[in-house]
Amino acid sequence: MKRTTLAMIAIAVIVIAAGGAVVFLVLPKLRTPPSPQCPGKDNALFIVYYSVSPNEDLFSGMASWLSNVIASNSSKAINVTLSVCSVSYANLGKDLKAAMGNRTFFPVIGIHTTSDLTKAKIIQILFDKHGDYYVLKEDWVPILYVYYMAYVEYYVQKPVLKLPNVSGVAETFRAPKLLLNETPVIGSPSAKYYLVIYEDVYCPYCAKFYADSLPTIEELVKNNTFAIVLKNFIVHGEAIPMHRNITAMYLATQNSVAVLEVMKTIYGLVEENIYPSADQVADIVRSVTGYTNFNTTVDAVDKVIAKDTEEGWSYGVYGTPGLLIWSRERGRGVVIVGHATAENLLKIARTYLS
């Protein structure tokens, strides 16, 4: 798949501590389950989506895993075989909508069963119980959902969401943070859409995105349709010094356009399979800004990088480029991972966010 993926996603086991027990996530063979009446059928793993439907077969492995975990965590006192189905948020009953609370991340995973799952400690930790419904706590999304689905999608070559020609990951109602003193924004904060790019200077697919797709978005910055927001998401450890240098430059100069020009220059080299050193990046920064002595502390720089990375993970980004198309007017966004054409980004914005 044409993207750079975090090495940790390639691990086939997720370890979750559950009251002293250690639960191992062993990826089972995927199957395509039947779609029962959803989510009311007994023993159903249901996936609630907002406007973009999920690929149900990607969740079948999770259903098998949860069935095994429930049995092992209850000393085999509870044996359920979970089938998979999906349902739109609009079609949920009032009680289940209320049980879900103010969700900011879709799809949401839940279980409907008449069996009492509370004897399984892992279920108590991961899910909130509402009658016969168990709804995954949103705080666990990066562990149970992002890690698992990122791994499965990487090997099965299917996106989580059914979006054409892109690797759709999630829909979100949580606005990206735009702290202008920390975050380079090219364009107006009042633009109709934000394109937030979570990137790594050594990512070849980021370089491809900059070369193929970004010029079109830059044209749309001029008429206030888009603003481009640049965020750190380092997947290559050796790229840390470069990101520190560039982040320090922005903190000192507040020059968003200069950051974009530096990134373009670096990615131009990466496109030619040249990965610049920290000294070369410093020279690039000097050529764009005229100087490199920014007098910015490492702590201040690392805090910005850490906040960017944490935000990316919270959106389900697990590789680069991570792209969030955010509608400022609708207060909603779509997250994808990997290279995407400008045409497909615009289709997503017009179809789901207008």
List per-residue pLDDT tens for the chain, 354 residues long. 444 444 333 333 333 334 433 333 444 444 444 444 788 889 999 999 999 999 888 888 888 888 998 999 998 899 999 999 999 999 998 889 988 888 999 999 999 999 999 889 889 999 999 999 999 998 887 777 666 766 666 666 678 899 999 999 999 999 999 999 999 999 999 999 999 999 999 999 999 999 999 999 999 999 999 999 999 999 999 999 999 999 999 999 999 999 999 999 999 999 999 999 999 999 999 999 887 777 778 899 999 999 999 999 999 898 899 999 999 999 999 999 999 999 999 999 999 999
At residue 226, the pLDDT reads 98
3-class secondary structure per residue, 181-230: CCCCEECCCCCCEEEEEEECCCCHHHHHHHHHCHHHHHHHHHCCCEEEEE
CB atoms within 10 A of CB 103: 20
* Helix/strand/coil for 112: strand
Closest CA relative to residue 184, chosen from 261, 256, 264: 256
In whole angstroms, what is the distance from residue 179 CA to residue 185 CA?
A: 9
Contact assessment for residue 258 and residue 288, using Cβ atoms and an 8 Å cutoff: yes
In the sheet where 168-172 sits, what is the strand order? 105-106, 168-172, 332-337, 322-327, 193-199, 226-232, 185-186
Domain boundaries, the chain: 4-156, 168-352
pLDDT at 19: 41
pLDDT of residue 40: 85
pLDDT of residue 155: 65
Yes or no: say if 353 and 325 are a contact pair by the CB < 8 Å rule.
Answer: yes
| pLDDT recorded at residue 154 | 62
12 CB burial (10 A radius; 0-12, 13-18, 19+): exposed
Q: Three-class SS of residue 54?
A: strand
E-assigned strands of 252-352? Answer: 319-320, 322-327, 332-337
State how far the Cα of 228 lies from the Cα of 301, in Å rounded to an integer.
Answer: 21
Crossing angle between the packed helical segments 278-289 and 256-271, to the nearest 10 degrees? 140
Task: Output the pLDDT for position 51.
Answer: 95
Taking CA atoms, 19 is separated from 121, 126, 277, 343, in Å, by: 7, 12, 46, 48
Residues 6+ apart with CB under 8 A from 102: none
**Residue 151 has what pLDDT?**
67
Q: How far apart are CA 194 and CA 180, in angstroms?
A: 14
pLDDT of 150:
64
Q: Which CATH architecture has domain 168-352?
A: 3-Layer(aba) Sandwich (3.40)
CA dist 299 and 242 (Å) reads: 15
Asked whether 122 and 16 are in contact (CB, 8 A), the reply is yes
106 secondary structure, DSSP code: E
Output the pTM of the full model: 0.88
Q: What is the pLDDT of residue 241?
A: 94
